Structure 1
């Protein structure tokens, strides 16, 4: 059973008094800078905003522009649909992107926002009666049912409850250094089932508990899709979803296809920005308490050899483990089918899928799934606490999160953010991307960027956007 993870005591992170004084001084300086300069941020100054908004949606444009004014953006896109029609279509870039040609069609990595497309693939199979959410995966993929996996259901994987958040070696299930790790070569041979063989050999660890399947969910769903259809997940999504919708969203992009698109490299916020976010939080003087809380969780994992966070770096190719951002910026990285962490797209593409789901499975005269299937996928939302990541929210049987149900992120209460995002369903990506929809108000929403901030599920940039959207209720 997964051991409960409590708050790390102060004694575990001793700060000498002389250092504490320096940290207090630095924190005060940071707060003074923010007060006098109006803002500080990790990326280039200001920005150039282009695009359009429909009448009555000007507040959303103002919020998007404010993120650039506050130096929080590098390149970013925002698209919102209402009742199947685009009402916001904006893009912008800071002075650090000057001359690089960033526009509304530019593609960038969306990290975990791609998990929505894994779930959409399952929806299509359910809609065609080729799959049920409560099916045993082994009923479609016989070799999957080894080493204690024979009864794992599709919806358990989609809800992050299957115990396959990493691929534990059945001979050493508690020794995370011996987990089975897919290689780049394995992922490159997805069409030949190389990753599936890795999955078949592993055992579940902590099945029935909510433990975020950060990298593994896509590999498992990809194997299931290939077993049922004979196509890889990327091939299936292209033929059944993205091409019919006429959108640029890729799970593994062939080299010749890449040559037809412009990409924006992903860039992480610098060390100085990280310190500015964490140090004040360490001292209870503001900053980013979620980021600081997650740092403490990482320290706890370093101190405990059986901490499940130790298993997560082993869930992706070792070549990516130290710097996945570096690899997703390469031609080779973009060819790989890593749907849970390396899909490439733009806000127009994600927003159109969001609008489709908000609109009962149909957009611009194209129906991908039935209204009944959409309702089924969003049903039976189940709230659990993920003790590893300190995250409490509801996931539906189809694998979508209810953002209004969030009560904590990284162990820090987030009731205010949840209130702003009430009604929105979907998921978010590392660094800040958002891929959401609101069925009741028939709103599709997508925000993507290439400047990666520390915030979880959108961070401070998302708060301003959703504050503007909340005024449209």
Structure 2
């Protein structure tokens, strides 16, 4: 797709409080320049919505981007799973310092009996890829996936290194959640965060909403860091290859309704931007807070930081499930916790400033963030503060 096609998109619709008018200007600049095709951005400040914008085109036909657009969130889903886990830590239903096998006895096979929940939830378990062949359709088989991971030996000594568990993290953390509560991550998301609220956020999308999901427009790797990661994923006998090729992970992996209905809580959550920002408002002071400050500090405590065994060109920093602020993903600086998603999505909270932010786009950019369009938006939010 050409920049000319992107630039033809309409001006954004929606609302920005006067203090945050710069966010509207940044969002419009992204559409006008062609950095975005169709997108939405939402910001809450201490539990009050201050930005709710959408614009551009829904797809290559030029159909306007709709106000009620939903996006497959890819790895922003991990952050939503992190919110569910944080709520269970808050109530004492899950102990981050307990062995995973205390909740899920079968997981203790093949030298994994000593892995703690917080290690599992911070990409340290050594299970970034399925060892056995997995087809795209197999991702919908929850029991089959967790059985594979339970009997699998780790790729490194757990707790000594970390590597991005792109798809497997959802089954691993999700099974701990299921064993601890008897309920799935998607069920708990609706029960704990959507009661009495019109929350447009699901892990396991009801089929009646299929028509609102906006397809991703995939993009080719740039000559830079995105291309480097692409080459690494193509190299046989590497963890990057195993993680992103069993099955093949691309921006169109979840552009099929058959993979929206099952729960794949590392990758297939479906959201709108305003609901993602509202969810992250549960971590900051204000009327929407649902997770205690003590638990927020626990889950944003650094667990790992440095070279990643899977994302070979991208040092990563994680708390418990959540990405933390780093050069790769600065968000709003120290204290931020959230998660980005394949192609450019981003959602996070910054408790110190009271900001909860969400950006969803249908133009996939394979380079890791921060890319130009996010720099503009985040700089505008920071300036408003």
Decide which moves more: 55-64 or 386-395. Answer: 386-395
Q: Equivalent of 1:344, from 270, 284, 307?
A: 270
1:15 maps to none
Matched, 1:399 2:321: yes
CA shift for structure 1 position 166 = 1.3
The alignment yields a C-alpha RMSD, in angstroms, of 2.5
Shift of the 314–224 alpha-carbon distance from structure 1 to 2, 3 Å rule, reads farther
1:49 maps to 12
For the 8 Å contact 1:107–1:264, the answer to whether it is kept is yes
2:209 maps to 258
2:228 maps to 293
Q: Equivalent of 1:375, from 297, 300, 324?
A: 297
CA shift for structure 1 position 56 = 1.7
2:279 maps to 353
Q: Equivalent of 2:362, from 450, 464, 467?
A: 450
2:348 maps to 436
What's the TM-score once normalised by structure 2's chain length?
0.90
CA shift for structure 1 position 232 = 2.0
Matched, 1:234 2:156: no
CA shift for structure 1 position 44 = 5.4
For the 8 Å contact 1:46–1:95, the answer to whether it is kept is no
2:101 maps to 138
Q: Equivalent of 1:268, from 218, 236, 239?
A: 218
CA shift for structure 1 position 198 = 1.5
What's the TM-score once normalised by structure 1's chain length?
0.74
Matched, 1:124 2:87: yes
CA shift for structure 1 position 185 = 5.3
Matched, 1:333 2:248: no
Larger RCO (alpha carbons 8 Å, 6+ apart) = 2
Matched, 1:149 2:100: no
Alignment of 1:164-175 (within 5 A): 164-167=127-130
Matched, 1:200 2:150: yes
Q: Equivalent of 2:163, from 188, 191, 211?
A: 211
CA distance in 1, matches of 2:310, 2:146: 26
What whole-Å deviation, never above 9, does each CA across 1:348-385 have from its counterpart, x for those lacking one?
A: 1100012221237x50xxx5332322222222454222
Mark the structure with the bigger radius of gyration: 1
Alignment of 1:170-189 (within 5 A): 179-183=131-135, 186-189=138-141
For the 8 Å contact 2:45–2:355, the answer to whether it is kept is yes
For the 8 Å contact 2:43–2:49, the answer to whether it is kept is yes
For the 8 Å contact 1:384–1:393, the answer to whether it is kept is yes
CA distance in 2, matches of 1:309, 1:393: 14
CA shift for structure 1 position 401 = 1.9
CA distance in 2, matches of 1:418, 1:374: 18
Q: Gapped runs of 5+ residues in structure 2? A: none
Alignment of 1:64-75 (within 5 A): 64-75=27-38
CA shift for structure 1 position 314 = 4.9
CA distance in 2, matches of 1:369, 1:267: 35
What whole-Å deviation, never above 9, does each CA across 1:415-434 have from its counterpart, x for those lacking one?
A: xx749645432110001001
Shift of the 329–314 alpha-carbon distance from structure 1 to 2, 3 Å rule, reads closer
Shift of the 95–228 alpha-carbon distance from structure 1 to 2, 3 Å rule, reads closer
CA distance in 2, matches of 1:204, 1:314: 18
CA shift for structure 1 position 101 = 5.3
For the 8 Å contact 1:41–1:72, the answer to whether it is kept is no
Q: Gapped runs of 5+ residues in structure 1? A: 1-38, 168-178, 279-288, 410-416
CA distance in 1, matches of 2:239, 2:290: 38
Shift of the 139–313 alpha-carbon distance from structure 1 to 2, 3 Å rule, reads same
How many pairs are equivalent? 381
CA distance in 1, matches of 2:291, 2:99: 22
CA shift for structure 1 position 327 = 4.4
CA distance in 2, matches of 1:70, 1:141: 50
CA distance in 2, matches of 1:224, 1:459: 34
Secondary structure at 1:447 match in 2? strand
CA distance in 2, matches of 1:226, 1:264: 30
CA distance in 2, matches of 1:296, 1:194: 30
Q: Equivalent of 2:66, from 88, 95, 103?
A: 103
Shift of the 335–386 alpha-carbon distance from structure 1 to 2, 3 Å rule, reads same
CA shift for structure 1 position 125 = 1.4
What whole-Å deviation, never above 9, does each CA across 1:311-370 have from its counterpart, x for those lacking one?
A: 11355xx4xx2x65444222211112112121111101100012221237x50xxx5332
Shift of the 306–461 alpha-carbon distance from structure 1 to 2, 3 Å rule, reads same
Shift of the 419–53 alpha-carbon distance from structure 1 to 2, 3 Å rule, reads closer
CA shift for structure 1 position 160 = 1.0
